[in-house]
Amino acid sequence: MGLQTRRESYSGPLPFATQHRKDSSYSHHRCHNSLPILYDGENNLISPLEKLERLSQDDIRECAYEIFFTACRSSPGFGSRQVHSFYLNNQENEAKSPNVVMSPTSKVKRALGLKMLKRSPSRRMVSGGSGGSSSPKGGGSPFHNTTPPFRPRRPMTSAEIMRQQMKVTEHNDNRLRKTMSRTLVGQAGRRAETIILPLELLRHLKPSEFSDSIEYHMWQKRQLRVLEAGLLLHPSIPIEKATTFALRLRDVIRSGESKPIDTGKNSDTLRTLSNSVVSLAWRSSNGTPTDICHWADGFPFNIHLYTSLLQAIFDNRDDTLVLDEVDELLELMKKTWSILGITRAVHNVCFTWVLFQQYVVTGQIEPDLLCATHAMLSEVAVDAKREKESFYVKLLTSVLSSILGWAEKRLVNYHEYFQRGNICQLENVLPVVLLVSQILGEDLTLSDDVGGGKKGDITIVDSSGDRVDYYIRSTIKSSFEKVIEEVNAKAIEMEIKGEFGDILLHLAQEIEDLAMKERENFTPMLQKWHPAAGAVAGMMLHSCYGHVLRQYLGDVTSLTRETVEVLQRAEKVEKVLLQLVVEDCGEDNAKTVMREMVPYEVDSIILNLLRKWINEALSSARDCLQRAKETETWNPKSKSEPHAPSVVELLKCAKTAVEQFFKIPIGITEDIVQELADGLESLFQDYMMFVTTCGTKQSYIPSLPPLTRCNRDSKFIKLWRKASPCGANSSDIDHISEGHHPRPSTSRGTQRLYVRLNTLHYLLSHINVIEKSLSHTPGVIPSPNRKHSGPYFEIINSSIPAACQHVSEVAAYRLIFLDSNSAFYGGLYLGDVANSRIQPALRILKQNITLMTTLVTDRAQALAMREVMKASFDAFLMVLLAGGSSRVFNRSEHVMIQDDFESLNRVFCTSGEGLIAENLVEKEAAVVKGVIALMGQYTEQLMDDFSIATCETSGIGVMGNGHKLPMPPTTGRWNRSDPNTILRVLCHRNDRSANLFLKRTFQLAKRR
């Protein structure tokens, strides 16, 4: 039922002001305050009033009825028992009589938004006549009632309804009537607030009017405890414990606990009791005389009594309903105000509490009671602005705190407390809480808890925030924690290991379900007070799931399939929650709201993890490379695999990384592929540099001997001829004899260089395989801004051929200048040409070439052969031009030398089945042939050619008289037009003219 927005003025106990109800939105003007704990162990509603220890609820109810009866004694229906006799014959008069309840409508119920019961009049009818039989005597049952036959029925009076509602028997009611009759003898006009009712009851009711002594004693103890509560424990005017009257009253009460006290006319106990009670009840706060006695108006005793009366407005047959006669009943209850110290404002607070308490204790099934509570709170809000008296503020604070505590316990976790059957109740509870919190925040001054609230205290949220926002966030957080617990429990039940990733995957679906539950069931209601309620819920769910996701990612060390699944599922959850925010706020406002949300950045996280994965894969390969650098011996893996084992391991790591890279179930772009390729290429380049770290050819080429002029009579020549009269020494003869079956002179070091060469070719071929994997794997997303448009391994592909050339060159020069030194540079043409021809060297060379083609892979053989040819030709030139003092040549010997070179040339033209093109051989041989041609020239021609070439290269031009030719620099680039080459031919010419020319021109020393 909808809440009333206005309150009509009417004659009754509720002087409601006509006003518009304040907006139920959470107020923005409140400080942080703490209120007492308001929940018991079972989360039930806690009374805002201090418990009366020595009085039960039945005692309070009976006392309240006695006060009510006394205050209303002059009203119709509370006096003579024969006041209804004239209704017997005129039913029309009954409806018009003022003491009969026949209200067709109720202003109070209309104001509170409560429905009329619309019951048949017979439901509130009693037998006619005197209204019932006389009460039984002595041991008669107080509930026994004999109704004369055929007696007509009449409507119940307010007195009868009240007695019935408060469950007072006719027997007890009769005793009360008798007491009033005896008390007011000769005092008909005596005011109720001057009567100390328990004292009068003790004076006038005797044991004989009870069924037995036990009943009388129990009744008497109740009356004494009522006096104790009103005068000693909770007096409206504080008393000192040492007061004489207070001490005497305590003594009397204590004596009445074990046995009944004597209440006879001449009883000293009764006299002491009367004097003490009267003296304490007729005190005033300032000591001046007063016309009102104070025995039932102390807090909280008076509020207990008054709320007990207010409970009577609820139908005993259905305690969720308010009687249609509530107007008359409240009007009668108003007469107790002077006795109980109740004001209009206090009444409104008590009535609010009673309505709310009834809603709670009846199982929260009647929303009308909650709407009525809200209506009363509107009146309380008006009173709270005016009333600042401490007693009122204390009562109001306690009542509102209790309401707020109970309601907030449910609102901060409304998913738990508002299920399918009662979700609509949230729409009624929330306005009440918002109005209560508004009153507490705006209209009451509550002391701040400087030291901080104790555990369990209710904290009033600062009004700068939104209370509904707080409820949504708190509920979502609680629901999220519950979901996590359920997912964990389910995982345990299903005997799942409980991996964090699995839990997150389950949790993602639960989050989506929770979001849908919030949007469908709660958001439409909450939007009445918070326009962006759905957005707040979405943001909170996003934050909660994000927190758990970040915890998971904090432990993630590498990109796995599980991690990708978790992140992709998180991205779907984020889209659902963002859609919830957009639907609730609209696109424009959603942009502002989303700034407060920390995005999951799934794509960025995946990219970072993917890069981390790439780095880890490359790190593993680098470890492999480091092991190779430390342990590689350059021995072939096997005869069928003539490459280093380390390159196999390295490429295996690279291939594994590429395979696993493309197995990652995410969209991979060309940019990321390029990053992996760049890392692998850097790795391959590092390995290539490691392979090519094998020295240079210069380390094997012997240093050039100093230039000297040839001397026929040099000591070396004489010794050579003397030692070899037949043209060869014994060692040469032995060596030559072995030449029919020579052994290869290839050293282990040279063979290891071949392994290096094979390794480079193996690396190159498999890099191409990896290149194809990177380029042709389906599913790679093109990147328009890719840095390189060519092959991924373009740099390494262009670098390896140069590395192969370098290794081949070093191997060749090592083979010729080190391994074959004795046959080439160390032995060819040593002494004279005729006796040290090239045939032995060629036989060894052929064997070395055969071994080389066996050790070197097919793809590397052409390059290796070409470099051996170059090294051989360089060695041949070194013999002719830098052979040292042990070599001299005659012009006539150039024919033999030319024949030897042709033989050497044929080795490379015929070996290896055309590994080297004939034109390439001729090109490389042209230089050597040019030098041999110089050796065939006459000495005079050589001297002229040398002079011309020297002048041209030095820039002198034509030599004049007195000028000397400069010494040409040694470039190492032998050529028949090179002056240094011509000079070296002259230095090795065994000729007098050459000798004199060199002595005259450069003062070269003779050979010794």
Per-residue pLDDT band for 800 (boundaries 50, 70, 90) equals: very high
Contact 621, 681 (CB under 8 A): no
| Percent of the chain residues past pLDDT 90, beyond the cut | 44
3-state SS assignment for residue 989: strand
- Per DSSP, 965 falls in state P
More confidently predicted of 147 and 603 = 603
More confident residue, 612 or 637: 612
Pairing, β 458-460 against β 33-35? antiparallel
Query: Whose CA is closest to 430, among 414, 454, 442?
Result: 414
pLDDT of 732 reads 43
- Cis-peptide, bond into residue 431, ω within 30° of zero: no
Q: Which residue has the higher pLDDT, 83 or 235?
A: 235
Tokens of 157: 């009076």
pLDDT at 132: 41
| Percent of the chain whose predicted confidence (pLDDT) is above 70 | 81
Burial class (CB in 10 A: 0-12, 13-18, 19+), 357: buried
Rounded distance, CA 207 to CA 137, Å? 12
Q: What is the CA radius of gyration of the chain?
A: 60
Q: Which residue has the higher pLDDT, 554 or 342?
A: 342
3-state secondary structure of 663: helix
Would you call 896 exposed, middle or buried from its count of C-beta atoms within 10 A (0-12, 13-18, 19+)? middle
Q: What is the DSSP letter of 830?
A: S
Residue 232 has pLDDT above 50, yes or no: yes
Q: What is the value of pTM for the model shown? A: 0.69
Name the amino acid, one letter, at 895: V
- All structural domains of the chain: 1-31+370-457 (no CATH), 468-600 (1.20.120)
Burial class (CB in 10 A: 0-12, 13-18, 19+), 178: middle
Across 933-972, b (16+ Cβ under 10 Å) vs e yields: ebbebebeebbebbbebbbebeeeeeeeeeeebeebebee
* Average model confidence (pLDDT) across the chain: 81
pLDDT in tens, 688-737: 999 999 999 999 999 999 888 887 555 545 554 555 444 444 344 344 33
The overall longest dimension of the chain from CA atoms, in Å, is 181
Residues ≥6 apart with Cβ < 8 Å to 58: none
The residues with which 125 forms a beta bridge, in sequence order, are 155
Tokens of 875: 């060695």
Q: Return the number of other C-beta atoms located less than 10 Å from residue 444's C-beta.
A: 15
**Beta-bridge partners for 709:** 1006
290 phi and psi angles, rounded to 5 deg: -135, 155
* Residues pairing with 989 in the sheet: 889
182 vs 171: CA distance, rounded Å: 17
Residue 39, beta-bridge partner list = 45
What are phi and psi for residue 525, nearest 5 degrees? -75, -45
Cα distances (angstroms) measured from residue 308 to each of 62, 117, 357, 379, 574: 9, 22, 12, 21, 55
**8 Å CB contact between 873 and 927:** yes
- Residue in this structure with the two tokens 């305590």, named with its chain if needed: 250
Q: What residue has token string 């004596």?
A: 255
Q: Which residues contact 260 (CB under 8 A, 6 or more apart)?
A: 207, 213, 216, 217, 220
Residue 586 has, within 13 A of its CA and on its CB side, a CA count of 3
**pLDDT band for position 919 (cuts 50, 70, 90):** confident
Contact 757, 856 (CB under 8 A): yes
Across 251-278, average pLDDT? 91
* Tokens matching residue 824: 């080439």
Identify the pLDDT of residue 138. 39
Counting Cα atoms < 13 Å in the Cβ hemisphere of 546 gives 17
- pLDDT band for 870, please (50, 70, 90 cuts): very high
Question: Tokens 């104001």 identify what position?
Answer: 111
Q: What are phi and psi of 1006, to 5 degrees?
A: -75, 155
Q: How far apart are CA 838 and CA 846, in angstroms?
A: 12
Burial bucket for residue 837 (CB in 10 Å: 0-12, 13-18, 19+): middle
pLDDT in tens, 120-134: 443 456 655 444 434
